[in-house]
A = this chain, B = another copy of it.
Amino acid sequence: MFVDAIARVERSLAQAFTLTKGSESPPLLSAAMRYAVFPGGARIRPRLCLAVARACDEDQPSLSSAAAASIELLHCASLVHDDLPCFDDAATRRGRASVHKAYGERIAVLTGDALLVLAFQALARVFECAPSRLGGLINIVARAVGAPNGIIAGQSWECEPTVSLTQYQRAKTGALFAAATSAGACSAGYDGNQWQALGERLGEAYQIADDIRDVFSTEYELGKPIGRDEILDRPNAVRRLGVDSSVRRLEELVASAIESIPECPGVKDLQTHILAEASRLLPRELARPAA
């Protein structure tokens, strides 16, 4: 199922990229956009979106595929801009040069911009088969990215003199996970709002796992520098709670996420998906087999 879902995500991303083709494409921008998206990471968010759509017996798979692609494009866009010299100044990402290191800062700014636009365009391209669901989907996705509570707003909290950690992480990480579950449900004709909680809890769990990996992984495993939170004095659950409590908190969040799953035909498969994903989030030496 993992391989199937990954393949479907890659296909839907490739399909979105057909919209960027043209006889007059600027070569650097085109190359950098692909570089930022392929090859991808674990595609956690779009696979979550598809798992929810499947659990809701998706009746229009092209719509959930577009939703999944859109969410991954927005995630990639945010990584490109987060890595810029004025933010994290990260030289590597996914095990190779970050976009601005490979293509220069100007192309990196424009790549993030163009991926944001492509995310909405990818949704709109399927409007003909489901016009009544398009508005809802765009609202879900836009809310997860923009002001006041989306990932861009989350990133902007880094520029404020004071910030609530919960608020920061909810916007920076939780919002797009919540969009993944809501958009998966909405694209299958379910009420996206009821699926927000699942995504929010998984987002929080993912954030903690990310904090743990920042401390315990090797740079090779992570594909980006480790120990960045300490260097950049960013909040990190392990620095705050210690490793055991962090792992426990992660497990609690996953359990509560599973409890929050609304009624749907494929609840069992979705639980299995979430547990399997959760067990992959931790560095091997900390992971316990899924219950």
Q: Residues on A close to B: CB < 8 A?
A: 19-22, 24-30, 33, 77, 81, 84, 86-87, 104-107, 109-110, 112-114, 116-118, 120-121, 123-125, 127-128, 131-132, 134-136, 138-139, 142-143, 145-150, 152-153, 155-160, 167, 171
- In the bound assembly, the distance between CA atoms of A150 and B27 in angstroms comes to 14
Report B-chain residues with C-beta under 8 Å of the C-beta of A131: 131-132, 134-135
Q: Which of B124, B145, B149, B157 contacts A142 (CB 8 A)?
A: B124
Q: Would you give 9 A-B contacts (Cβ < 8 Å), ordered by A?
A: A24-B149, A26-B157, A81-B110, A106-B158, A116-B117, A117-B147, A120-B120, A121-B143, A134-B134
- In the bound assembly, the distance between CA atoms of A239 and B110 in angstroms comes to 28
State the Cβ distance, A269 to closest chain B Cβ, in Å: 31
Query: Is there an interface contact between B33 and A159, defined as CB atoms closer than 8 Å?
Result: no
- In the bound assembly, the distance between CA atoms of A106 and B127 in angstroms comes to 35
Residue of B nearest to A113 (CB): B152
- In the bound assembly, the distance between CA atoms of A104 and B145 in angstroms comes to 21
